[in-house]
Amino acid sequence: MSDAKLETVLSSLSQVARQLDVLLSDKPAPDASCVKLNTNENPFPLPTVIMQSAMAALERQYLYPEDDNVSLRQAASEAYGVSKDQVIAGNGSSELLGLIYRAFLAPGDSVAMMSPGFSFNRKLAMLQGAQFLEIGWGEAVSLPIAELLFGPAKDAKFILLANPNNPTGTFVPVADIERLVDQSDRLIVLDEAYVDFAPDNGLRLIDRYSNLLVLRTFSKSYAAAGIRVGFGFGHPEIIDRLRNIQNVFNMNVIGHAVGISILAHRAAYAENHRHIKHERQRVTLALLQLGFSVIPSHANFLLARVPAGQDGSWWQAALERQKLLVAFFPDKGLQNYIRISIGTKEQMDAFLATARDISGSLKTPRSRRWAASGSASAPRAR
């Protein structure tokens, strides 16, 4: 029996909301026995001094958080050597991305992103009724500046770059980004979510170019993905416009306290970052020995092309049956890859042991038969 009231309500949705894909049924979170290497989290605990700031903030849970994140923005300005009016703080950098789309795009406008990139941007563009242009980048370590300036993206309201890029992990020289910003009169949004694992960053450019907006997050390199702390840095006029459309009390008291404490104790993460870079190299070499091709990464993950005979979806499923979670992307050009987050040494040992087990099982005659068929119901690795 149809629900007439529901049909009336749904018919009142905006055209864009009606076009969005229906969400899949709820899927429970993975149990604690899973090795979770699929979302690029930093699995280490917060340093003691930062955890203490979070616990202290809980004692103020009955108060609204500071509006406009004034103290957090001040702490970021001091830590990064910029003025406070060049900083916006957000509930993760994803909130700030949403503000940028709302501020700059109207129905019929276009936005360009280097592809493959952060897929959430497609949804943000659709919500604004904007055209989403994807400019092929692949494994390149240089920017197609001429194509961005004079090709299909020439009329885009802004251009999105991620450096290092997700999901490839590739890093382009900051000098390339500066050439693009210098030659363009449009906004360039530089997402530096993974920059603490890379050799350089573009934050110093915001004082030279008013059309550059740099995004940062504490989710990856500072092990605070569940606390949601992000920043945008740019010209005060742009930052002011974004702050003006930001939701009131957009961050909570714990996010404020942890963010300020991290900014004061970034040196406490030095060993964390050294570990991830070391494990990144160790896992790369081990995967190469198993027949994978690994894109050189400057992030806290690896994008690896699986050995011939299966695709990325097959490997993801085979690993998941052994409670090893990695990411797979069905996008064109990525079907033969899996993305592996870098975790603790124990997590990476477990991943490599399982990958070796699966790889070894493929060498048996029976395994070769089902591998050639692409069956996802292949024998479980022992």
CATH number for the domain spanning 39: value is 3.90.1150.10
Domain with 97, as residue range(s), is 48-264
What is the C-alpha end-to-end distance of the chain, expressed in Å?
A: 49
For the whole model, what pTM was predicted? 0.90
> What stretches in the chain show pLDDT beneath 50?
1, 367-382
188 and 285 part of one domain: no
Do 257 and 108 belong to one domain? yes
Specify the pLDDT at position 381. 32
Q: Does 325 map to a domain? A: yes
Tell me, yes or no, whether 178 and 97 share the same domain: yes
Tell me which long-range contacts 329-334 makes (C-beta under 8 A, separation of at least 24).
Answer: 329/116, 329/119, 329/167, 331/116, 331/119, 333/116, 333/138, 334/116, 334/167
297-307 burial, b for 16+ CB within 10 Å, e for fewer? bbbbbbbbbbb
Whether residue 171 is found in the same domain as residue 293:
no
Angle (deg, nearest 10), helices 312-321 and 345-361: 110
| Domain match, 259 and 276 both | no
* 260, 282: one domain: no
| Nearby residues of 223 by Cβ (< 8 Å), 6 or more positions away | 41, 42, 43, 44, 45, 46, 269, 272
Full DSSP string of 148-210: HHHSGGGG-SEEEEESS-TTT-----HHHHHHHHHH-SSEEEEE-TTGGGSS--SGGGGGT-T
Biggest CA-to-CA distance, the chain: 66
In a domain, 368, yes or no: no
Question: CATH number, domain at 150?
Answer: 3.40.640.10
How many distinct structural domains can be found in the chain?
2
Residue 15 covered by a domain: no
pLDDT at residue 372 in the model: 45
Three-state DSSP class for residue 354: helix
Cis status of the peptide bond prior to 116, with omega within 30 of 0: yes
Instruction: Tell whether 8 is covered by a domain.
Output: no
> What pLDDT score was predicted for residue 260?
98
Distance CA 168, CA 265 (A): 30
Is 75 a domain residue? Answer: yes
pLDDT at 367: 47
Q: Could you tell me if 339 and 246 lie in one domain?
A: no
Judge if 37 and 76 occupy the same domain. no
Residue at 54 is within a domain: yes
Residue 379 in domain:
no
Last residue of a domain, one of 264, 280, 295: 264
Place of tokens 């709302």: 102
Task: Say if 19 falls within a structural domain.
Answer: no
- Examine the fold and report which residue of 237, 264, 291 is the final residue of a domain before the chain moves on: 264
Instruction: Please tell me whether residues 215 and 285 are part of one structural domain.
Output: no
Whether 258 and 175 map to the same domain: the answer is: yes
Same domain, 162 and 308: no
How far is it, in rounded angstroms, from Cα 144 to Cα 124? 24
DSSP code of residue 112:
E
The pLDDT of residue 362: 82
Q: Residue 67 is which amino acid?
A: D
pLDDT of residue 28: 66
Alpha carbon dihedral 232, 222, 296, 37, in 10-degree steps, equals: -120
Dist. CA 230–CA 90, nearest whole Å? 5
